[in-house]
Amino acid sequence: MSAAVTTAPQDSAGFWKTRYTMLLLNTLGLAISYATRVNISVAIVDMVNGTALREREAAEGTQLVRDPDSCPGELVLEGPGGRKEGEFVWDMYMQGEILAGFYYGYTVGHIPGGVLADRFGGKVVLLFGILVSSILTVLTPLSAWAGYYVLFTNRVLQGLAQGGIIPAIQTTVCTWAPDHERSLFSIIFLGICVGTLVSMAVTGILCETIGGWPLSFYFFGGVGLLWCVPWFFQAADSPSQHPSIDPAERNYIKATIQSAAKNGIISAIPHITGGAGNLIFVWFTGFLLRKGRVSKTCTFRIINGLGTLVPAAALVVVALMGCDSTVIIVMLALSGFFIATDCTGSYLNMQAIAPNYAGTIVGIVNMFANLTGIAIPYIVGAFTNTNPTRSAWNAVFYLSSAVAAVSYLIYAVFTTADEQPWNVPPSERAQKATANEGIENTAFDKGVTPMADGDRTQKGRWKANVP
């Protein structure tokens, strides 16, 4: 009697698979969620009336000039090309609260989002998150005109709606990605970088059009609403629920996928702690800079060290502890918390060295970040595709930790917080020999007061009045 021969499952014919459509829609959905999240950080520059704010609060001496192309009586901030004033008189605290409002809701939204994704599937949770946040994005200009508290509430609700997006995506990946294609499906998280970059670039362009800053919210909110249409008709919680998937592909995924150990709630943990970490590290960075007990350069070294070395150490602990799920969850939470320093460490550092070219510098840095995001799935696949064992994943963790440690060492040695001489063109520097160089960088010039000429720094900037 011959033994039964087990044949390997056969995938559907053709290059494009239904699961690739799911991958693409998830990537675009994540990109849209980040685009609607961050566009206000660019648009708020055009929303705020800096002149009225300085007149009200006697702020620190930004020069005002008349723009020959502006309406009669209109004042604009001095700077490359000039910029028209906005219509809202929000001080720095109010602006900070508006930007932070999203994270208040986002932090709270993860746990219910994870529970709902596990109970009802990722399709409806992701649809709800992007649909609601897109509608609120379209309503952002109306909310701003209605008042500061209405806009703040809008941002909180956006964060609350988006809290379930990451858990929903993780749940979807667990039901659609064959085990040997998990590294491929991690491409979804490129949507974070793509959405952020596109949002910052396009928002800046739209703010300069005749539609002004409201157009940026209408645009990205509209894109999000359009995304909901193909997601509603083409997405499904699992291959078995998809109405038009090739039966061969459905059977192939079913045969090559195993029950995942992680679920929506566990996947949400780094983002829950990350939202809390974002708020805490914003305060902590400001505290260090305000008190002046350490230099700006040392402040950035401390913040970026926490955001790089602590997650690297957490990966080593995960590798060493093996199957202890409690420790792994704690390490995930710890990593998410400290990775949140990215928003206050590296970005502020880039703004400090060249405020006139901060956008260009961020674009260059994020370009290289995107390149690593493209390479990572292939590197991970090289370790795990043919050998999906714990030892193979441990090798990935150790390599990641080593890269993080070396990267931070290079950063710590070569970083600076000093404004670079190329920040201001030579011709402009000559014209402003007796004035502040470049544009006002309010993030780092808190407490600056005019002093006698003999008290100027070597670069011609006013000394900071540090308590």
Q: Indicate if 117 and 236 belong to the same structural domain.
A: yes
Residue range 442-458, pLDDT digits in tens: 444 444 334 333 333 33
Do 352 and 413 sit in the same domain of this protein? yes
- Using 50, 70 and 90 to split pLDDT, how confident is the model at 55? low
pLDDT tens digits for range 170-216 = 778 778 878 667 667 767 877 877 888 888 888 888 988 888 899 99
Residues 309 and 216 in one domain: no
Domain of 27: which CATH number? 1.20.1250.20
DSSP string covering 177-232, please?
Answer: S-GGGHHHHGGGGHHHHHHHHHHHHHHHHHHTSTT-HHHHHHHHHHHHHHHHHHHH
DSSP 3-state assignment of 142? Answer: helix
Show the domain range for 50: 17-58+91-242
Residue 384 has pLDDT above 70, yes or no: no
DSSP class of 89: -
Are 238 and 298 found together in one domain? no
pLDDT at 416: 82
Same domain, 154 and 277: no
How far apart are alpha carbons 94 and 278 in whole angstroms? 17
pLDDT (mean) for 99-119: 80
Last residue of a domain, one of 242, 274, 298: 242
Q: Assess if residue 185 is contained within a domain.
A: yes
356 within domain boundaries: yes
Number of domains in the chain: 2
